[in-house]
Structure 1
Amino acid sequence: MPTRHATDRNSGAATGGDAAPSGVGDVRNVVVVGHAGAGKTTFLETLLAASGTISRPGRVEDGTTVSDYDEAELRQQRSVNLALVPIEYHGVKINFLDTPGYADFVGDLRAGLRAADCALFVVSTTDAVDGTTRMLWNECAAVGMPRAVVLTKLDHPRSDYAATLQACQDAFGEKVLPLYLPSPQKGTVTGLAGLLSQHLHNYADGHREETELGDEDQVRVEEARGELIEGIIEESEDETLMDRYLGGEDIDPKVLIDDLERAVARASFFPVIPVCSAGGPGVTELLDVITSAFPSPAEHPMPEVTTVDGKPKTGLTGDPEGPLLAEVIKSTVDPYVGRISLVRVFSGTLRPDDAVHVSGHFLADRGHEEHDEDERVGTLSSPLGKTQRPVPQARAGDIVAVAKLSRAETGDTLSDCAAPLLMKPWDVPEPMLPVAIVARTKADEDKLSQGLNRLAAEDPTLRIENNSETHQLILWTMGEAHVDVLLDRLSGRYGVNVDKTQVRVPLRETLAGSAPGRGRHVKQSGGHGQYGVCEIEAEPLPEGAGFEFVDRIVGGAIPRQFIASVEKGIRAQMEKGTTSVGYPMVDIKVTLLDGKTHSVDSSDLAFQMAGALALKDAAQSAGVTLLEPFDQVSILVNDDDVGTIMGDLSSRRGHVLGTESVGQGRSLIRAEVPQTELLRYAIELRAMSHGTATFTRQFARYEPMPHNLAAKVLE
């Protein structure tokens, strides 16, 4: 693709040379997406070197990589954070947002998609297009994100460019088409053949030289060029263009490039650029495509905005001189600097020491406290590894690191104090893997709550639950890798050590049948004693009926004031359960039939104790049925995996309610499954579907537990 000046297609303003970015059209926000091992970090280091930001690919001056600088990443040797990697190229600032390639950290991917205007999909030519890669592509497609595909590791001995391109087209669609073809010499890629320019970018001598195509390259280019031109023309708004092309007319390359840019911006065409990650062929070509063909912030729709009291706010256009509107897309804690907020500015200009209003209404339904308060902005900086390089301001369209926003959490809105605004949040995936933890020592217990609250402020995919029934502290997470990172940070960053324990599912008890019960509480130990006797009949009720108490006392066998005491004692015993495992008893009817009193020793407490003993006696006679909670589960899965998933649900004692096609080779399965069978389902479903299936769950009801399983619990 020919090198051109970066142009804001909305305003028509152009920039060139190496001048510092000054307007929305001089910025490109690009989220870098790809599965773990695709080579995203190495690829970004190569771009940094090509732009002159660092001297050569590899670790930057502080010894870390460009994006893997979190202590958990350094210890675990994997990228688990959304990281900003900004570079400047020919007067355009390109903000690369490096995202983790693991399904557990899809929350960071969605934050990156919110902040970016285009996605760069990195696929290794040494690997297949796996389930995780398809899942990441679907995430981009779900929000209509413009995408381009980078095929990396062309210089690897096992590289297979043709097979990888075909795999991408099979997985992502026919509009995934290359702009360049690699040109090998003696098994090494030394140049790229441009399909539109029909010239060879030759790197054999270590620098780019534009030459004529050789005979072998010419044959390959002719076939691929026709397919590319037809793909572009199909997306053109000029309906006559295809007829002219098929009639033999030579279409002006500028017309094709303009149509290509528009098709990329509306996410209907996905150009492919091959790149040698170690430098050389593809790097300059990719930077040229990013600056000339990728949409600028002015071309990306503004998220929905309201006032803090919910009134729609219109008229925001992304003007650097307009009202301030920015969003915290990632919040992290640096052990030396403190809290660092990664902020995308959508409107206005953000400067150091500005007073801003912080609106936090992002995850109120997950236990995050809502907050509206004013704070003063600290230093603005542009990161390079761990190094924070100060910048004087961040204009609309830019992304910057902000220090000292002590209360700002991921997803919070920053706006003018005089006219606070609130942005509609992006969709955060629901964590589905529960992990129970306990503090290792008393000192750890004292620090645990504060440490967890700080982790939750950074990570919206973490949900913390204090279960009042099982008395367990539960972390709801995205998967095992997510758990490892959370506990690593809890220990390494906040000095809190915890141990994992088995998650307990809150069961219920009910009566297996009807039975009488007698409660006798009689004690005498000097002075006033305790005397209360009652006789009841207990029976089960239908699910959800609750508790029913019937008074059938005649003749004053139990005085009126003590009848309420009997009911109170029965209710208290229901809360504690009647078996040794102590699950609450539900859905029963108790009829009070008879009793005895003592003129001196009968009391409220005595009849409470008698009522409790009567219920336990009836339960022992009638037997107890354990009830387990069932969740309604909705599973989105590829059509090829429907049979496997449904068979697995049956093995989990699930009731399949039905399936329906949702298009694009996907189906939705609805089922009801016992909670005890879902404790590790997030991991097991991912394994069964090769990372492509997702599910949601919500409580449905309680059902009787099978006798063999109930017997094990009661034992």
Structure 2
Amino acid sequence: MAQMDTQHFRNIALVAHSGAGKTTVTEAVLMATQTISRLGKVDDGTTTSDYEPEEIRRHSSISTSLAPCVWGSNKINVIDTPGYPDFIGEVISGLKAADAAILVVAAHAGVEVGTEEAWRLCQELGLPVIIFINKMDRENADFGQALKHVQDSFGSKCTAIQIANGSEQNFLGMIDLKNLPAEVPSAVSGEVEQLRDRLVEAVAETDENLTMKFLEGEEISQEELTAALRQAVLSGKFVPVLGGSAANSVGITELLNAVVDLLPSPLEARLPNFESEGKEIELSTNSDGPLAALVFKTTADPYVGTLSYLRVFSGTLKSDSQVWNSTKGLGERIGQLFALRGKNQEQRDSLITGDIGAVAKLSSTSTGDTLAQRESSGILEPLSFPDTIYTSAISPKGKADFDKMSSALARLVEEDPTLRLRRDLDTAETLLDAMGDTHIDVAVEKAKRKFGVDLEAALPKVSYKETIKASTKVEYKHKKQSGGHGQYAHVMIRLEPLPRGGGFEFGSKVVGGNVPKEYIPAVEKGVGKSLQGGALAGYPIVDIKAILYDGSSHPVDSSGMSFEIAGSFALRQGVADASPILLEPIVRLRVTVPDSFTGEVMGDLNGKRARILGMTPQSGVTLIEAEVPQAEVLRYSADLRSVSQGRGRFSVEFVRYDEVPAHLTQKIVDETKNETSSKG
């Protein structure tokens, strides 16, 4: 592919609800531009952009893929993103590298959950959008109904610049409303005239001069209409709606023309913030200017190493050069640069301003980092990903897998910023936080395929704790005689409950030296050891105060070890007599859901022992805040998806520990003991 000037680039992300046909649109674009000679199919696993085994097996995109092509004198970097909500991180990465988006809508389904989410992300990033109503040849396809659904959801600025000629099995193509053909089929002539007038009016409303012309009944020329339409799209005041059937390559030529004619080059696009030492720096869009490139995606491979996907916002990135990672403050060597088309790589000598490519084996660079020149380094606006909402406990299937598990999980997290790895010290589990169950499933599959590690994912254990509700006094005497020096320690300890979150306190009020000072730390150590397993179910004991107030010792047989043992047994005995209770973690949920689903969500939360803190209306949606036991919401992403038809969003954060209701305590204790005995 020959090098082109920045003004001839178009960086376009395809976004949609899963199954709307993004990948097929990408394939049809590559076919129309003669980049490929055969149209691949998602169901056959033969498309250019869905090449990972996990994608082929699922018939669905799970990662962002690049598919550059040439249309006329323009290079179009197509960025095909996933539609399934678990892979929202890939969508965000792809949109950060793009200057505009094509939002694909299935004609028979209209606006779906993923459509709404993709639109929201585009609006947050200020990206110009073209809407492509796909699958016009499908049963129940209706361009007019799909258009109405789009306008009801996203506003009247979404205006058709085409009209469908037929639908379903009688779909013949699209009629251009900007440049009407000499002959319009009589079956749609009335609708064509109506939509043409609506198009002219909508474009005129975005331009003051054209508004005056329109109101005064003057003719608006084709040149004026085209120029105003482009400016309106670039400013976000107008969203053109087109249609077609990607599977049959209908409407794709017109879509490509719209991309070139209506969407911005990198010279016209919104630039990300670029800061150095807290001060904003103006980005140059000149290829001769200082380098500023964003790593928007990373893949890990056991043989090739890491592959970093880059978008150059300023300057030129060259093969075999030295650059500065200004995010981490480290130097990096750039080896061979590549242009990527799906899994295929083409070597490149350089990437100029506005272009997208990749480089292998960067030693210290990760997703979101900025590559620049040391003498003029700044940091590009970083990628921002949502908090994880789903957690699984990860364990190895065998001994060989145990040895390799940590490194494999670290590599997976390196390539996916929406995966987070942590260790729960209370339950001794390795936890993987993700965006959903499918996200976890794919991570486990990748660990096997890429790194040869068999992993199992399970529901994480709840980190219960134990405490006491009553004060008590306990006396314990440790005495053992076995020839020679014996063992002797006598302690008297008072136990008191502390306020929630009080932790553990130890004090001594021994007088008269009944317990020599040198043995008091040993008593504290013994008490502390017994805090690791409570009297009810062996969970850690918290919020307790232990005061050593008396005891006795033996001049020969007493030792630190003896007093440590005495302190340990005294604590265990005392806790059992101090009304022990079980504590459970409480989390705060913030659920945002369309008003029409508020009742279902509230009912579901009430069934989870939730305490509703408040409900706040917010323009068609309601924010519900509640506190709920963590044990009730370990799989809340699936529950919310069910009761809100996928339209709810939520965040969760730990708040505190509260007492488990008495009627549930014994059930939890029994389950814990059964699990422990089965392992023993």
Q: TM-score, normalised by structure 1?
A: 0.89
Pick closer, same or farther for the CA change 1:550–1:53 going to 2, 3 Å.
closer
Q: 2:534 is aligned with what amino acid? A: T
Q: Deviations over 1:197-253 (max 9, x none)?
A: 222xxxxxxxxxxx42243333111111122222222222x1x53343133221122
Q: Quote how far apart the aligned CAs of 1:403 are.
A: 2.5
Q: Which residue of structure 1 aligns with residue 676 of structure 2?
A: none
Q: Which residue of structure 2 aligns with residue 315 of structure 1?
A: 282
Q: Deviations over 1:393-424 (max 9, x none)?
A: 21111111223324432222211244443223
2:554 is aligned with 1:598: yes
CA distance in 2, matches of 1:636, 1:563: 54
2:478 is aligned with 1:507: no
Q: Which residue of structure 1 aligns with residue 445 of structure 2?
A: 488
**SS of the counterpart of 1:622?**
coil
CA distance in 2, matches of 1:384, 1:502: 38
CA distance in 2, matches of 1:31, 1:186: 27
Q: Say what the alpha-carbon RMSD is for the aligned residues.
A: 2.2
**SS of the counterpart of 2:171?**
strand
**Equivalences for 1:381-400 in 2 at 5 Å?**
381-400=338-357
Equivalent residue for 1:708, pick from 652, 663, 671: 663
Q: Which sits farther off after the overlay, 113-122 or 611-620?
A: 611-620
Contact between 2:302 and 2:450, CA under 8 Å: does it hold in 1? yes
CA distance in 2, matches of 1:186, 1:412: 47
Equivalent residue for 2:637, pick from 667, 679, 682: 682
Q: Which residue of structure 1 aligns with residue 160 of structure 2?
A: 178
Q: Which residue of structure 1 aligns with residue 240 of structure 2?
A: 271
**Equivalences for 1:254-269 in 2 at 5 Å?**
254-269=223-238
Equivalent residue for 2:419, pick from 444, 462, 470: 462
Q: 2:632 is aligned with what amino acid? A: E
**Equivalences for 1:555-704 in 2 at 5 Å?**
555-574=512-531, 576-579=532-535, 581-663=537-619, 665-704=620-659
Pick closer, same or farther for the CA change 1:248–1:391 going to 2, 3 Å.
same
Number of aligned residues: 669
CA distance in 2, matches of 1:186, 1:375: 54
Q: Which residue of structure 2 aligns with residue 194 of structure 1?
A: 176
Equivalent residue for 2:55, pick from 68, 73, 76: 73
CA distance in 1, matches of 2:169, 2:641: 38
Q: Which has the higher contact order (CA 8 A, sep 6+)?
A: 1
**SS of the counterpart of 1:396?**
coil
**SS of the counterpart of 1:299?**
coil
Give me the identity figure in percent: 39
Pick closer, same or farther for the CA change 1:274–1:386 going to 2, 3 Å.
same
Q: Which sits farther off after the overlay, 673-682 or 484-493?
A: 673-682
Q: Which residue of structure 1 aligns with residue 311 of structure 2?
A: 344
**Equivalences for 1:6-45 in 2 at 5 Å?**
20=2, 22-45=4-27
Q: Which residue of structure 2 aligns with residue 213 of structure 1?
A: 184
Equivalent residue for 2:122, pick from 140, 154, 168: 140
Q: Quote how far apart the aligned CAs of 1:598 are.
A: 1.0
Contact between 2:137 and 2:167, CA under 8 Å: does it hold in 1? no
Q: Quote how far apart the aligned CAs of 1:531 are.
A: 0.7
**SS of the counterpart of 1:409?**
coil
CA distance in 1, matches of 2:378, 2:124: 26
Q: Quote how far apart the aligned CAs of 1:705 are.
A: 0.8
Q: Which residue of structure 2 aligns with residue 289 of structure 1?
A: 258
CA distance in 1, matches of 2:557, 2:129: 82
Q: 2:85 is aligned with what amino acid? A: A
Contact between 2:525 and 2:564, CA under 8 Å: does it hold in 1? yes
Q: 1:640 is aligned with what amino acid? A: S
Q: Deviations over 1:460-518 (max 9, x none)?
A: 00000111111100010111111111011000110000122331121221102122212
**SS of the counterpart of 1:626?**
strand
**SS of the counterpart of 1:278?**
helix
Pick closer, same or farther for the CA change 1:563–1:450 going to 2, 3 Å.
closer
CA distance in 2, matches of 1:191, 1:564: 85
Q: Quote how far apart the aligned CAs of 1:335 are.
A: 5.8
CA distance in 2, matches of 1:183, 1:21: 39
CA distance in 2, matches of 1:27, 1:185: 34
**Equivalences for 1:474-485 in 2 at 5 Å?**
474-485=431-442
Pick closer, same or farther for the CA change 1:517–1:169 going to 2, 3 Å.
same
CA distance in 2, matches of 1:498, 1:511: 39
Pick closer, same or farther for the CA change 1:447–1:545 going to 2, 3 Å.
closer
CA distance in 2, matches of 1:117, 1:703: 49
Q: Quote how far apart the aligned CAs of 1:672 are.
A: 1.3
Equivalent residue for 1:232, pick from 203, 212, 224: 203
CA distance in 2, matches of 1:598, 1:354: 76
CA distance in 2, matches of 1:97, 1:384: 10
Q: 2:230 is aligned with what amino acid? A: E
CA distance in 2, matches of 1:185, 1:175: 24
**SS of the counterpart of 1:355?**
strand
Q: Quote how far apart the aligned CAs of 1:130 are.
A: 2.1
Q: Deviations over 1:236-277 (max 9, x none)?
A: 2x1x53343133221122222222212211222211111221
2:394 is aligned with 1:437: yes
Q: Quote how far apart the aligned CAs of 1:336 are.
A: 5.6
Q: Deviations over 1:562-601 (max 9, x none)?
A: 2333233222322x13326322222223332321211111
CA distance in 2, matches of 1:647, 1:109: 32
CA distance in 1, matches of 2:45, 2:428: 45
Pick closer, same or farther for the CA change 1:187–1:683 going to 2, 3 Å.
closer
Q: Deviations over 1:604-626 (max 9, x none)?
A: 22112212222211111122111
Q: Quote how far apart the aligned CAs of 1:64 are.
A: 3.9
Contact between 2:389 and 2:433, CA under 8 Å: does it hold in 1? yes
**SS of the counterpart of 2:457?**
strand
Q: 2:579 is aligned with what amino acid? A: G
Contact between 1:320 and 1:348, CA under 8 Å: does it hold in 2? yes
Q: Quote how far apart the aligned CAs of 1:154 are.
A: 1.7
Q: TM-score, normalised by structure 2?
A: 0.94
CA distance in 2, matches of 1:395, 1:482: 34
2:222 is aligned with 1:253: yes
**SS of the counterpart of 1:563?**
helix
Q: Which sits farther off after the overlay, 151-160 or 185-194?
A: 185-194
Q: 1:340 is aligned with what amino acid? A: L
Contact between 1:517 and 1:616, CA under 8 Å: does it hold in 2? no
CA distance in 2, matches of 1:166, 1:405: 48
2:124 is aligned with 1:155: no
2:323 is aligned with 1:356: yes
Q: Quote how far apart the aligned CAs of 1:85 are.
A: 0.7
2:506 is aligned with 1:549: yes
Contact between 2:173 and 2:244, CA under 8 Å: does it hold in 1? no
Q: Which residue of structure 2 aligns with residue 12 of structure 1?
A: none
Q: Deviations over 1:94-141 (max 9, x none)?
A: 111000010000001111111101110011112242222222222222
CA distance in 1, matches of 2:629, 2:220: 62
Q: 2:218 is aligned with what amino acid? A: E
Q: Deviations over 1:14-54 (max 9, x none)?
A: xxxxx955322110110000112111112111111111111
Task: Specify every segment of 5 or more residues in structure 2 that has no aligned partner in the other structure, as ranges.
Answer: 671-680
Contact between 1:656 and 1:672, CA under 8 Å: does it hold in 2? yes
Q: Quote how far apart the aligned CAs of 1:433 are.
A: 0.6
Q: Which residue of structure 2 aligns with residue 125 of structure 1?
A: 107
Q: Which sits farther off after the overlay, 109-118 or 517-526?
A: 517-526
Q: Deviations over 1:317-339 (max 9, x none)?
A: 22111111111111113566443
CA distance in 2, matches of 1:502, 1:58: 38
Q: Deviations over 1:273-312 (max 9, x none)?
A: 11221345421111111101101112223222234xx442
Q: Quote how far apart the aligned CAs of 1:439 are.
A: 1.0
CA distance in 1, matches of 2:377, 2:215: 56
Pick closer, same or farther for the CA change 1:74–1:280 going to 2, 3 Å.
closer
Q: Which residue of structure 2 aligns with residue 13 of structure 1?
A: none
2:76 is aligned with 1:94: yes
